[in-house]
Structure formats: structure tokens, C-alpha cells
Structure 1
Amino acid sequence: MPFRFGSVGGSFSTRSYRTSRGLEIASLNATIKVSRFATLNLVGSKTWGAVADTALQLLVIVPLGRRTSATAGVRTHGDGQSATATLQRNLPVGTGVGYRLAGEVGEVNRLDGEVALQTGFGTYTVEGSATDQGGGVRVSASGSIGMIDGSVFAARQLTQSFAAVRVGAFPDVGVYADNQLVGHTGRNGLMIVPNLRMFDDNPIRIETDDLPMTAQLATDKQSVRPPRRAGVHVDFAVADNRDAMLTVVLADGSPLPKGLRVVTGGGEKTISAPGGEIYLASLRAKNTVTVQLEKALCSFVVTLPAGGAPQPRLGPFTCVLKPA
């Protein structure tokens, strides 16, 4: 039952057995917000019948951030008492580190610790525990290897629906699901987004600031509805078009006249400028450029240099007449 300061709840249950006495269990719990920075949780229970016991637990929970919290409490039942304390930081939705440190004194003296690293390819955990009777350490790793649309990928453990997000061939592009950063694309431009809701709209977007200025895309947001425990492909078609200033001459070495119509193999159209200069804004790695002369056509091939230098000046290119 909710109240302005928190909530209160209770229950009563009975258990019957054929060969032994039954049990009656009553419990009461209350959650009280004592300040903006702390919450008090009180749980009490009473058992009658085959087992007679009274237990009481008091916990103070203090949030220390979006993913971090601290808990301290005491517990008593029968003839035993104990005190506990926990510091915990949950793993993020995307890549990052989480940890948990917990201690208990009283009936059992115990110290537990756990550190987890989550990457785009898996989750790796180291756990340790020490008690009065001894201790131990456990190391574990989990992940997945799969195939979608003929492409093999490595990802975190996939127990629910997922999406294979491709952003051209651009690496290190942030990918968000439900507006939370999940991770960044790998060297091949691929990112696996796990834990999607099946048969429901899942908004996925990419971080356009991570793309080069020369990249062109139709949209940075898509929504998918994957089937149960299956993958879907999400393709953000990104073209890495670059601009350049070209210097062009005719076969006799004279500058290309101004005012001529110019068309690239990609469909971009423009007009030649004085001095044989042509500005093109959407060049690919390799381009065929055709010029409409007075009575004929000529063409030349532009291969962009490696690197992303803005608006390089290239040439001179010789515009060769096309056969009639």
C-alpha cells in the first residue's frame, strides 16, 4: 500500500503437510523514504507450527549515482544476529565496469567481492569469497558467436532478441537503443545490440558526430520489431562522399573552357569554371567524369587520394575525347 513517505505491505499464509505439522507465516514490510538520499526498509516475519521463529531485518539504502548504491543493515532471528554492508555498482547498458563488495559479521563472518567487465564481445567476471571456513575465487566469461545475413559476429551473450546494426564501414560509431548507449561499431562498421523487446518497437539510432564530415546518410534513426529470440539486420546506409576542386585540360594542354556541362558517374551535375576548374561535392573513391564539349564528349577518371583532407585540389586531368 503506497503512502506519501513510502509503502507498507503484509501477508499471511499457511502450509499443510500430510506427515508433519503445518506452518503459519505472517510477514510485514515497510519502505520509508527518510530523505532525498536514503531509504529505510523494514521486514519482519513470525512463524508458528512445525517451526517457531521470529525474524526482523532493517536496511538503509543510499543511492550514490545512477548505477551505484550502498546498503547497510542488521538482521535478527531466533538466537542469531548479523550485520551486513554492501557497496554495488551495476553494469551499464553498454560497455563498462561493475562491481560488488559485501561483508557480514555475526552468525557467519563473510566477505564477498565481484568485478565485471562488459565489452561489445562478452562479459568477464572475477568473484571472490572468504568465510570462517575458507574461501575461493571464480573467473567466468560469457559471450556469443553467431551469423546474420551471411556475416559472422562475436557479441555478448544473446538470450533475447537482438539486432545487427551496420553503419557502412565506419568504425567507432556510437549505437543507441532506447536512447541508451549500447556500444560502438567495430572495424567493419558492425555492432550487435542485445536484449531487444520481441514483437515490440525498439528505437535504434547512431551518433552522427562520430561520422566524418564527408559522410552522407538518409536517417540516423530506425525502429525494429524483432521476433522472439532472433536477430534482425539494421542498415544505416552511409556514403563516404568527399568534395574536391579539379583542374582539367584538353588533349592539347589548354584549360577546359568555362560553362561546360559536367556529369559524374554518381549522377552529380555541375558547370566548369574559368581556368579549367571543376568543383565536385560528392566524389567516391573512384569516379568517371564526363564533359559535354561543343560538338563532342570527353571524359577522365578521378581517384581520390587516401586520407580525409577537406576539399583537396587535384589535377591536372586530361579530358580525353570519347569515340563518336
Structure 2
Amino acid sequence: AMQAQLVIPFDIYGSLALSNERSQAGESRQRVNYSRAVPSEGGVGYNLGYASGDGPAYRQADLTWRMQSVQLQAGVYGSSDAETRWADASGSLVWMDKQVFAANRVNDAFVVVSTDGYAGVPVLYENQLVGETDRNGHLLVPWSSAYYRGKYEIDPLNLPVTVQTPNVEQRVAVRRGSGYLLEFPVRRVIAASITLVDAQHQELPLGSQVRHEQTGARAVVGWDGLVYLENLAAHNTLQVTVGEGRTCQATFDVDINEEQVPLIGPLVCQ
């Protein structure tokens, strides 16, 4: 018995295989097969095959459609006088952090990424984009590798400018057959940029020291009298030291529900 086979890859998904074989009984058969794998992020894959030689011709065709919540498959194989048709649907239901997730079949382990309720945050697993968090700030990664410290990342560019993410990358290993809730702390920061001027409406000198009286936070006046402050309250008071021990005071209000960083001023420090 002997067989010769030629495999031609076209891209990272598709390949063509040609083969010729001869059995010990002297029967010969030629085969041609084209397959296209399903992308890991989801999509369509298929497999087409045909074999002829001594005996009835053999045909094979199947299609796989992988979506975020389910994988559907259907196919047919056999000869003209003995044909078999089949179909399959597989998926998973996961309950974690008071939410139900529908996903593809979990073969090894899974991780639920949480962004503290912020939706539309891209999530990456091993540098590959998995998807975006839903309206509750969650995303299920159903194909995590068990016992491997996989790298999970979030891309904070879609978050409002008033939101801070102290950690955008974490590594975690999950036991086989189990899941893990991976939380990325996301906190909202009330901030503002303030332009400070003196009584003559001239910008305060560069490097003037600024102290927020309510929180004790300190900052420095930059070019054009501009200073940036975080963790503000609805009503704020600033104490400014303007060289040679001279001080002045400025008060201002901010909208704590503002989604953008406001530019306040010119604000007179007196």
C-alpha cells in the first residue's frame, strides 16, 4: 500500500490537498480536498472533499458558522447510494457576577472581564481582540487556556476623558473546567483645567504653587496661567502662592456630572 499527497496552503485559513493512494488489494483512489478554517474571532469555515477511483465516488461537504454565542454546523458525506446528512449546534451558558452569558462551547476554561459597568471597552486576550464589553461592562472570554497565565488587556481609548484606569493589563491562570471574574478597576474623576489671572487680569506667573483646600492636592501653574486639578467637588477653593510668599485665593464651581474636562476661567485670584 502506498500514498502520495500534496498540500497547498493559500493563506492563514485555506488549504488545498491532492492525494493518490493504492491499497494492498491493488485498488487506487484519488482525492481532492479544500478546507477553510473558522477564524478564532468568529466567522464561516467550510470543508469540501471528493474522491474517485475503484468503486463509487465519495463526496463530502460541511459548513461551520461560529458566532459569539453559538456555533452552527451542517454537512453531508457519502456516495450517491449511501449519503448521510448531519447538523449540530453547540454553545455555553455562563452565570457570573449576577449576569448570564451565552457563548461558544467552553472546552477548557473561561474568564469574564469586568470594567465596572462601562460599556464598549475593547478587550484583548494574548494581543488578539476578543470583543467589547456589553452594556453592563462585561465580556466573556470562553476559550481561555487552563493553568496558563494568559494576558488580558483593555483599551481605555473609548472611555470618557473623566475616567481613569490605573491598570489596563493583567495576567491570570484559571483551573481547568472553571471560570474567573477579572476586574479592571475603572473610576470616574472630576477634573478641570483652570486659567488663573491676577487682579489686573494678567496670567499668574509660571510655577506658582496651587493647593486645593478641600482635598489638600497640590499643582503648579503652567503656561498661560493654566492649571489642571483632579478629584474636585461641586464647590472648590484654591490657595495660590505667587512668589515671595504672596498668596491669593480663587473659588469656582464645577458640574460633577460633566462628561468632559471643562476649561474654567479666566478666574481672578485675589
Shorter-chain TM-score above 0.5: yes
Q: Distance in 2 between matches of 1:64 and 1:225?
A: 35
User: CA, structure 1 residues 192+260, in 2 after alignment: closer, same or farther (shift >3 Å)?
Assistant: same
Q: Residue 32 of structure 1 corresponds to which residue in structure 2?
A: none
Per-residue deviation at 1:217? Answer: 2.3
Q: Residue 96 of structure 1 corresponds to which residue in structure 2?
A: 43
User: CA, structure 1 residues 60+231, in 2 after alignment: closer, same or farther (shift >3 Å)?
Assistant: same
Alignment of 1:1-324 (within 5 A): 44=1, 56-77=2-23, 78-106=25-53, 107-129=55-77, 131-133=79-81, 135=83, 137-168=85-116, 169-171=118-120, 173-177=122-126, 179=127, 181=128, 183-188=130-135, 189-198=137-146, 200-206=147-153, 208=155, 211-212=158-159, 214=161, 215-239=163-187, 241=189, 244-245=192-193, 263=212, 269-270=218-219, 280=228, 282=230, 287-292=233-238, 300-305=253-258, 311-313=261-263
Per-residue deviation at 1:62? Answer: 1.8
Q: Residue 242 of structure 2 corresponds to which residue in structure 1?
A: none
User: CA, structure 1 residues 300+242, in 2 after alignment: closer, same or farther (shift >3 Å)?
Assistant: closer
Q: Distance in 1 between matches of 2:56 and 2:157?
A: 52
Matched length: 251
Higher relative contact order (CA 8 A, sep 6+): 2
Per-residue deviation at 1:93? Answer: 2.8
Per-residue deviation at 1:305? Answer: 4.3
Per-residue CA deviations over 1:55-74 (Å, capped at 9, x if unaligned) read x2221112222232211102
Per-residue deviation at 1:138? Answer: 3.6
Q: Distance in 1 between matches of 2:216 and 2:99?
A: 31
| Structure 1 gap segments, 5+ residues each | 1-43, 45-55, 249-254, 318-324
Q: Distance in 1 between matches of 2:78 and 2:221?
A: 78
Bigger shift: residues 289-298 or 229-238: 289-298
Per-residue CA deviations over 1:44-91 (Å, capped at 9, x if unaligned) read 4xxxxxxxxxxx222111222223221110222225322111111222
User: Secondary structure, in 3 states, of the residue corresponding to 1:108?
Assistant: strand
Contact 1:174–1:207 under 8 Å retained in 2: yes
| Structure 2 gap segments, 5+ residues each | 240-246
Contact 1:95–1:182 under 8 Å retained in 2: no
User: CA, structure 1 residues 282+61, in 2 after alignment: closer, same or farther (shift >3 Å)?
Assistant: farther
Q: Distance in 2 between matches of 1:218 and 1:67?
A: 38
Larger Rg: 1
Q: Distance in 2 between matches of 1:83 and 1:266?
A: 80
Per-residue CA deviations over 1:96-155 (Å, capped at 9, x if unaligned) read 332211111223323222222223322222323463126454443211111123332222
Q: Distance in 2 between matches of 1:272 and 1:209?
A: 28
- What's the TM-score, normalizing by structure 1? 0.60
User: Secondary structure, in 3 states, of the residue corresponding to 1:228?
Assistant: coil
Question: Aligned partner of 1:69: which letter?
Answer: S
Q: Distance in 1 between matches of 2:77 and 2:190?
A: 57
- What's the TM-score, normalizing by structure 2? 0.70
Bigger strand share: 1
Contact 2:113–2:181 under 8 Å retained in 1: yes
User: Secondary structure, in 3 states, of the residue corresponding to 2:30?
Assistant: strand
